[in-house]
Amino acid sequence: MLDRLPFLIGLRYTRAKRRNHFISFISLTSMLGLSLGVAVLILVLSVMNGFDHELRTRVLGMVPHVRVEARDSVTDWETLAGKLREKPHVVGAAPYIEQQGMFTTNGRNKGALVTGIDPSAEDQVSIISEHMVQGSLADLTPGSWGIVMGELLARNLGVGVGDRVTLLVPEASITPGGIFPRLKRFTVTGIFKVGADVDASLAYTDISDMAKLARFKEGDVQGVRLKLDDLFSADQVTRDIVSQLGPQYRGMDWKRTHGNLFAAIQMEKNMIGLLLMVIVAVAAFNIVSTLVMMVTDKHADIAILRTLGARPGSIMGIFIVQGLTIGVMGIIIGAIAGVALALSVSDIIAWVQSTFGIQFLDPNVYFISYLPSRLEMSDMGIIIGSALVLSFLSTLYPAWRASRIQPAEVLRYE
């Protein structure tokens, strides 16, 4: 019975109505503050995880993980691609020719990166075929001068499937009549929508047509794009490939083009997590105020328990149990609320945007146009574990003060 005494009395103190309503108010405030901190921390980290996941699956699904180029051009890309597929971590290879340019039609102009691709090999390195909303990559045939563009790019130009657009490239053609910019008319054969910033800046055409526009020899390509099974090995794979192929080749991985964005998301996640953990810490340490006032209010009870034989350790246990009960209840409520919000925040934001016509994430500014959320159990464990530790630490000082109370000093005036 004596072993269970701290637990039983601690729970009774938590449930009992108090003469001092201010103590009850502080207890409730501590619990609600802890709940709010835990819920917000779970929600924000889930959103940051969602951004991280979308970056990996959508943006990096369209951006090549590794690009291998020759100094001039690659004359036998099939042989080179076969060699590269044998390298560790390489799961796909496809040729490409890239050209920066400006689309113009009906008085509208928009810059974009146009990539010549082999439609039959593109699925090995890109997810574009999974996100076609009109047409397909199979419509890109040699000599058809067809083009597939992002949904935002097509919307900004005011074109759809079947419309014609003119591509101006930043190279001049010298003719007897003078120097003129190089341009070519394309027919829109498909539109893709990934839901990221690439929808406003990418377009694809057949690689043989792009070779003619870029004045490559027949069969030559600019380089080979690679897809890896491990994104974070891209820099090491690039170094190994370039060192083995020789100085006539150069390589570039996704970390050079989009690495800063990924690093920024990771840094923001860590910093926001740290700052929000301070909210949890402040709420947890409010338990100190609650227990200090509780100890003061229960001086006589503590003295009577000591005279009945309760040890100082038992007195400490009573208030540790009471403080942890407040903390655990707050953490449970916060965890439930945080999980519910994390699982539904994407739908809530989408409903608000459609109902009130508000665009929280402009795809022309941010790399995705919606608010993603991805709940991870590892983050849940860290948040709940940290909150429990902070709650426990908050109980130690008031409990120690209670165990130091001398019965004779208290009962002398009772």
The pLDDT score that the predictor gives to residue 359 is: 74
Residues of the chain where predicted confidence (pLDDT) is lower than 70:
1-3, 10-11, 13-24, 172-181, 362-369, 408, 410-414
Phi, psi of 138 (to 5 degrees): -65, -20
Q: What is the pLDDT of residues 264-274, one digit of tens each?
A: 777 878 888 88
Distance of CA 139 to the CA centre of its chain: 34
Report the distance separating Cα 21 and Cα 258, nearest Å: 56
Helix intervals (H) in 55-214: 60-62, 77-85, 151-157, 207-213
- Residue type present at position 221: V
Phi, psi of 113 (to 5 degrees): -100, 115
The pLDDT score that the predictor gives to residue 1 is: 39
Instruction: Name the residue with tokens 């060192």.
Output: 243
The pLDDT score that the predictor gives to residue 102 is: 92
Report the distance separating Cα 185 and Cα 197, nearest Å: 25
DSSP per position, 15-73:
HS--S-HHHHHHHHHHHHHHHHHHHHHHHHHHHHHHHHHHIIIIIHHHS-SEEEEEEEE
Note whether 190 and 175 are within 8 A (CB): no
194 three-state secondary structure: coil
Going by C-alpha positions, the residue among 46, 59, 34 that lies closest to residue 345 is 46
The pLDDT score that the predictor gives to residue 96 is: 93
pTM listed for this prediction: 0.72
Phi, psi of 333 (to 5 degrees): -60, -45
Cβ neighbours of residue 72 closer than 8 Å, sequence gap 6 or more? none
Report the distance separating Cα 177 and Cα 2, nearest Å: 105
The pLDDT score that the predictor gives to residue 33 is: 86
Going by C-alpha positions, the residue among 280, 334, 332, 323 that lies closest to residue 35 is 334
The pLDDT score that the predictor gives to residue 16 is: 55
